[in-house]
Structure 1
């Protein structure tokens, strides 16, 4: 029996997590710009080429390597529209002077292609020494020029899209009860009491005057229900000692004064 329960529980948990695990859309980190299938960080702070590359690596990225014409056009359009004043940006392009041919290569290992990213002078520069590739915005176009690595320039970092998976837990809707306090304000309270006293020789109606009690805001209001007593009562000896002038006359008593 226990084994069956364990199997059922395991299956329920498996179904739950399978249905609740929702893969999110490939995206970029906060502050990064998504262009097609890559994420880019445009740093408008001047750094040397080496310092710029180190800054990119601290964010798990590299200085940008432009690998195809589509990427070139996307970057060109974004730089022109977003940073129209900034004209010079470090690229992930450098010349390795340790090699015999001193070839220009991108940081991703691919060879530089002048057909994709044209040189500013229409041909590969013949400058000697360690050089790095710089993107120059000229007439709304990106052109690559060779620059000394110590030159302070802006930089562009590049990294792949993030693949983030989030898990959502299913919960029952919470039930809550709300008690609404209703404030009742009473401006006055009127109490009227009527009694009928019957004697053997006369009927005396005793009516107390209506009393108005102003309500106090800070004092809780007590509801008083007026009651009418119609039960005949026989006067005791203390009442019969009163002189009744006219047996048929109605006498009204207010407070303790006879009228």
Structure 2
């Protein structure tokens, strides 16, 4: 049996060390490639951010669209439901400002249905999406349940101040729909 010399065992040690380092680098490369592939399957640019379909405007956790055709309130609500939402509910001045802007057509504000109504019980205002009626921007003297107490649905962009008014639900107006924003999947590895 031949004994190994120091130089042979040193060379073997050196070769094994280089091989071990190469394997470690290869492992790192494989992990990097796998992570890249996993994240490319998700929306890596903005994981968890809310997104809206084309033709919809995102704000907060909702998407909004202005429908430039006129319908009575109940038909407008059904139209919005067919799109996966409801007539818009407004809970802040910021949302009001956005929706007011969306309702400006040909340089003027158009009377526009939003999702509030008190048809179930007079003066108990409800949003069609079931959210709490915690905000309002009524025009002076409104709501007045005018026309013999037949005004039970809420329009915005009313009067010079473009605020809210209770109107007859059978009136044909433009309308604003809202739906929850889509959340792309968050990548978890």
The TM tier, using the shorter chain, reads 0.5 to 0.7
- What are structure 1's unaligned runs of at least 5 residues? 1-10, 168-259
Q: Indicate whether 1:144 and 2:167 are aligned.
A: no
Q: 1:28 aligns with which of 52, 59, 81?
A: 52
- The equivalent position to 2:118 in structure 1, one of 95, 98, 103, is 95
Hey, what does 1:70 align to over in structure 2? 94
Contact 1:72–1:117 (8 Å) recurs in 2:
no
2:144 maps to which residue? 125
Aligned to 1:108: 129
- The question of 1:57 aligning with 2:57 is answered no
CA distance in 2, matches of 1:63, 1:50: 10
Alignment equivalent of 1:19, drawn from 16, 32, 39:
39
Give SS of 1:77's match: helix
1:79 counterpart = 2:111? no
Q: CA deviation at 1:102?
A: 4.2
Secondary structure of 1:124's counterpart equals: coil
CA change 1:134–1:78 in 2 (3 A) is same
Q: Bigger relative contact order, structure 1 or 2, given CA contacts below 8 A and separation 6+?
A: 2
Contact (CA 8 Å) 1:31, 1:41: kept in 2 or not?
yes
TM-score by length of 2: 0.66
Please state whether the residue corresponding to 2:174 is helix, strand or coil: strand
Deviations 1:82-115 (A, max 9, x none): 5533421011011133x3x5411112334545xx
**Runs of at least 5 residues in structure 2 that lack an aligned partner in the other structure:** 1-29
Once superposed, what is the RMSD of the aligned Cα atoms? Answer: 3.0
Match of 2:155 among 120, 134, 140: 134
Q: Confirm or deny: 8 A CA contact 2:103 2:112 kept in the other structure.
A: no
* Structure-2 change in CA distance of 1:49 and 1:109 (3 Å): same
- Number of aligned positions between the proteins: 152
Label 1:83 to 1:117 Cα distance change in 2 as closer, same or farther (>3 A): farther
Instruction: Report the TM-score when normalising by structure 1.
Output: 0.50
Cα separation, partners in 2 of 1:159 and 1:83, compared to 1, 3 Å: farther
8 Å CA contact 1:95, 1:132 repeated in 2:
yes
Higher helix share: 2
More strand by share: 1
- Between stretches 15-24 and 103-112, larger displacement belongs to 15-24
